[in-house]
């Protein structure tokens, strides 16, 4: 705690005598009196007691000093008697159960997402989409147990975007064409047949998952405007 008002070093020093104090102040007790009042007002009760005791030694018959000293001591006692803040309550059994359930769902989501990323590497876009969908289902289940959890919310956004990308890439593949084993070309290879309607449906899924993604949204809109009549928008 601060030691009250700053005083001249010659007055505050350890060799100070009553005569030296008197040289600096006509009423030396008054100096400590005001310093004690200031400390008391600031809530520095131990410092206030020290200052009032100094004043009392210089003016032992001053009843006002006695009153202020008693007040400072009473406030210090009251402050020290305050109970320590209660420790925060631990989780309830239901909360423990919910956390465990959320973690179990998150573990499953992590496994499904890892599989999806592996399938992305192999350009198996539709399979990756399905794996990411499984991960998203588990994250949503975890959010039921831990609603609003920031990490789960972020994970949900990431997986949603990965699903959207997988759907988009699969749509591009369908636009170019996928092999039709039932139609063999003269070179012995299956016919690559475009599937614009299916591509549009996959782009619709991608747009729903990531509506802010401009290239996905624009490509879906192009299909809505140009794909064969009868295609579902």
Q: Residue 188 pLDDT more than 60?
A: yes
Helix 63-81 crosses helix 45-58 at what angle (to 10 degrees)? Answer: 160
Domains 9-81 and 94-226 share a fold: yes
- Residue-level pLDDT at 88: 81
State which fold the 94-226 domain adopts: 1.25.40
What CATH class has 9-81?
mainly alpha
| Separation of alpha carbons 114 and 120, rounded Å | 10
Contact 205, 168 (CB under 8 A): no
Q: Where is average pLDDT lowest: 94-98, 142-146, 185-189?
A: 185-189
Residue 107 corresponds to which tokens in the numbers above? Answer: 């573990």
Which of 30, 31, 51, 29 minimizes the C-alpha distance to 40?
51
Helix (H) / strand (E) element for 105: namely helix 93-121
Contact 205, 228 (CB under 8 A): no
Instruction: Read off the pTM.
Output: 0.58
Average pLDDT over residues 82-98: 84
Helix (H) / strand (E) element for 193: namely strand 190-193
* End-to-end C-alpha distance for the chain, whole angstroms: 74
Question: Structural domain boundaries of the chain?
Answer: 9-81, 94-226
pLDDT confidence tier of residue 98, bands split at 50, 70 and 90 = very high
- Residue-level pLDDT at 173: 85
């Amino acid at each position: 705690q601060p030691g009250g008002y700053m005083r001249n070093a010659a007055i505050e020093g350890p060799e100070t005598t009553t005569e030296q104090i008197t040289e600096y102040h006509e009423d030396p007790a008054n100096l400590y009196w005001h310093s004690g009042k200031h400390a008391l007002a600031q809530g520095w009760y131990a410092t206030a007691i020290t200052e009032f005791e100094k004043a009392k030694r210089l003016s032992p018959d001053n009843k006002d000093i006695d009153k202020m000293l008693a007040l400072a001591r009473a406030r210090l006692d009251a402050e020290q008697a305050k109970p320590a803040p209660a420790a925060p309550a631990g989780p309830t059994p239901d909360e423990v159960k919910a956390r465990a359930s959320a973690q179990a769902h998150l573990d499953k989501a992590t496994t499904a997402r890892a599989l999806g990323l592996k399938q992305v590497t192999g350009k198996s876009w539709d399979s990756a989409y399905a794996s990411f969908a499984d991960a998203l289902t588990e994250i949503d289940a975890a959010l039921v147990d831990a609603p609003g959890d920031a990490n789960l919310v972020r994970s949900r956004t990431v997986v949603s975007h990965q699903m959207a990308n997988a759907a988009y890439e699969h749509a591009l593949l369908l636009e170019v064409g996928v092999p039709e084993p039932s139609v063999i070309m003269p070179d012995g290879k299956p016919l690559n047949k475009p599937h614009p309607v299916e591509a549009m449906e996959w782009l619709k899924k991608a747009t729903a998952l990531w509506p802010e993604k401009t290239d996905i949204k624009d490509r879906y809109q192009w299909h809505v405007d140009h794909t064969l009549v009868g295609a579902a928008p």
